[in-house]
Amino acid sequence: MSRYFLIAVVSIVLIVIQTTVVSLISLEGITPDVLAIWVVYLALREGQMRGTVIGFAVGLVFDLATGSFIGLSALTKTICGFMAGYFYDENKTKLILGSYRFLLIMMMSSFVHNVLYFILFTRGTEIGLLGAVFQFGFTTTLYTSALALIPLFVYSRTSGA
């Protein structure tokens, strides 16, 4: 029970960080997605089912916090959690989370998340499909993956993986 409480608390803290601190390190309007990193991490640690549910919950709270397009982050983060959870292996959790595999899974899940998000979000604007995929989806994935190196290094050092 306490573990779920801790996950909820950390999720809320990260949502606050995402909506406040992270915009301070935006580059040309592109910001890393701390929440996607958290969802991928949990999916690899807790399994596909929990990763999917946590992705949905985190995305929904974020949608409510930012005030528009409620349901879009919930939808894309659900898929992100589901995708990352596909690589969950009970016996190799430490190995996956503390190695380059985490980064690869992160990049893949984040890319699918971002591409889907921006394609849906930019409908009705002048941003075309290619713009949504490359200008926003790809760059956000790169920035997010770069930031994911921090938890990767921290985890590999502390867990002894």
Partner 1 sequence: MQRLYTIIRLFKEYVVLTLLLLISIVLLSLNDNRQLHAVRSYTVAFLGVFQDAISVFPNIFELKRENQLLRQLNVSLSDEVSRLRASRLENMRLRGLLGMKEQSRLPLVAADVIGKSMYLLRNTITLDIGEANGVKPDMPIISESGLVGKVVAVSSHYAIGQILLNKDFRASAKVLRNSIDGIVGWNGGDLIRLRNIAKKQDVREGDLVVTSDYSNIFPRNIKIGTISRITERPGSLMKEVDVTPAVEFATLEQVFVVLTTPGAERTALEQKSSGGN
121 vs 137: CA distance, rounded Å: 11
Min dist CB 74 to partner 1, Å, is 4
Nearer to partner 1, 47 or 99 (CB): 47
Min dist CB 96 to partner 1, Å, is 18
127 binds partner 1 (CB under 8 A): yes
Pick from 50, 53, 47, 52: which is nearest to 91 by CA? 47
What is the CB neighbour count within 10 angstroms for residue 122? 18
User: Site mask, partner 1, residues 36-55, x = CB under 8 A?
Assistant: ------------xx--xx--
Helix, strand or coil for residue 126?
coil
What is the CB neighbour count within 10 angstroms for residue 42? 23
Look up tokens 């409908």; give the residue: 123
56-85 binders of partner 1 (CB under 8 A)? 56, 59-61, 63-75, 78-79, 82, 85
At a CB cut-off of 8 Å and minimum separation 6, what does 67 contact? none
21 binds partner 1 (CB under 8 A): yes
Residues forming the site for partner 1 (CB under 8 A): 15-16, 18-27, 29, 31, 33, 48-49, 52-53, 56, 59-61, 63-75, 78-79, 82, 85, 117-118, 121-122, 124-127, 131, 136, 140
